[in-house]
Amino acid sequence: MKYLKYNMVGLGLLLFPILVGAEFLGNHKGLPLQDRQSISVANLPDTIGEWGQTRRFAPTITANGDSPTPLITHENTLVQQQKQFRTGLLISGLTLSTALYGYISWWDKSASTFRVRHEGWFGADTPNGGADKLGHAFSFYVSTRLMTNGFQWAGHNRKEAAQLAGLTSGVLSLGVEIMDGFTEEYGFSTEDLMMNLSGIGLGTVLESYPQWDDLVDIRIKYWPSDDARRLQDYDPVADYSGQTYLLITKASGIPTLRQNPFLRYLELAVGYGTRGYQPNDGTDTQPTSRNLYYGLSLNLSQLLNDTLFKKQNKPRTQKVTENVLEYLQMPGTALLFKHQLQ
Whether residue 22 is predicted with pLDDT greater than 60 in this model: the reply is: no
CA 272 to chain CA mean position, Å:
19
Residue boundaries of the structural domains of the chain:
1-53+93-208, 210-342
Query: What's the pLDDT tens digit per position in 89-144?
Result: 999 998 888 888 777 766 666 667 888 988 899 999 998 999 999 999 999 999 99
Q: Give the whole-angstrom CA distance, residue 194 versus residue 175.
A: 13
Distances (CA, A) of 8 to 19, 20, 21: 17, 18, 21
Distance, in Å, from the CA atom of 192 to the CA atom of 93, rounded to the nearest integer, reads: 24
Per DSSP, 265 falls in state G
Q: What is the pLDDT of residues 308-334, one digit of tens each?
A: 888 767 778 888 899 999 999 999 999
Percent share of the chain, pLDDT over 70: 75
d(CA 196, CA 173): 7
How far is residue 264's CA from residue 249's CA, in Å, rounded to a whole number?
11
Q: How far apart are CA 144 and CA 197, in angstroms?
A: 10
* Alpha helices (runs of H) in 28-121, residue ranges in sequence order: 33-40, 74-105
pTM for this predicted structure: 0.79
Greatest distance between any 2 Cα atoms in the chain: 85
Taking the alpha carbons at both ends of the chain, their separation in whole angstroms is 29
- Cα 168 to chain centroid distance, Å, stands at 12
Residue 88 has pLDDT above 80, yes or no: yes
